[in-house]
Amino acid sequence: MIEKPFDPCYNFNMKENRGLILLLTRFAKGWLLRSRPQERRCLPQTEPPFMGFTLVELMVVIIIISILAGVSVVSYSNTKEKSLDKEATSALVLIRNAERQYFARFERFWPSGTTVTTIAQINGNLTIDLSAANWAFGVTGGAAGITYNASCTRAGRTWRISGLTGNPTCSGTCF
């Protein structure tokens, strides 16, 4: 009989190799009792197929996305309000320059002794182009046309400019 090298994955014939099987079982019992790691496996172990996400993994992803969304919404809101404040200050500077041109032409500020809140009248008399989409505008002229006050109001804050100070100032919650 030709001796073959030992191969644990080789299928033995029980009748032909009874002595070898007894020897191997005794060896295997002692080997298992010593709990040595297996050096060679007969069948390759494969990972179970990917079946989907666990509930914990899904919840972690949802929590992370909600935290990121919450931070970005707050940041977007503050940025939007800051840009609206810049829009108000630039509109008031535009009104200031238009009032100065009106004063140079007519030797008084507009409107004389009244308050105008209609955007069409403000644009028409001062020859400017303001939009009433985000702010409510108002222009008040002094009794003798010596001074003027202009304001922009929106959501709890008011930007004002006066013919005397010349720079926009804010009252309320400004950004």
Tell me if 92 sits within 8 A of 121, measured CB to CB: no
In the chain, the amino acid numbered 70 is: G
Q: 43-79, pLDDT tens digit by residue?
A: 566 666 777 888 999 999 999 999 999 999 988 988 9
pLDDT band at residue 22, thresholds of 50, 70 and 90?
Answer: low
pLDDT at 32: 54
Which residue ranges make up each domain of the chain?
83-172
pLDDT band at residue 20, thresholds of 50, 70 and 90?
Answer: low
Residues 6 or more apart whose Cβ sits within 8 Å of residue 8: 40, 42
Whether 39 has a pLDDT exceeding 90, the answer reads no
* Alpha helix segments (H runs only) across 107-133: 119-126
Q: 97-106, pLDDT tens digit by residue?
A: 999 999 999 9
pLDDT at 30: 60
Task: Quote the Cα angle for 127-131-133, to 5°.
Answer: 165
Whether 37 has a pLDDT exceeding 60, the answer reads no
* Rounded distance between C-alpha atoms, residue 124 and residue 83, angstroms: 26
Residues 6 or more apart whose Cβ sits within 8 Å of residue 146: 108, 109, 163
* Rounded distance between C-alpha atoms, residue 93 and residue 116, angstroms: 17
Residues 6 or more apart whose Cβ sits within 8 Å of residue 128: 94, 95, 98, 122
pLDDT at 24: 65
Whether 118 has a pLDDT exceeding 70, the answer reads yes
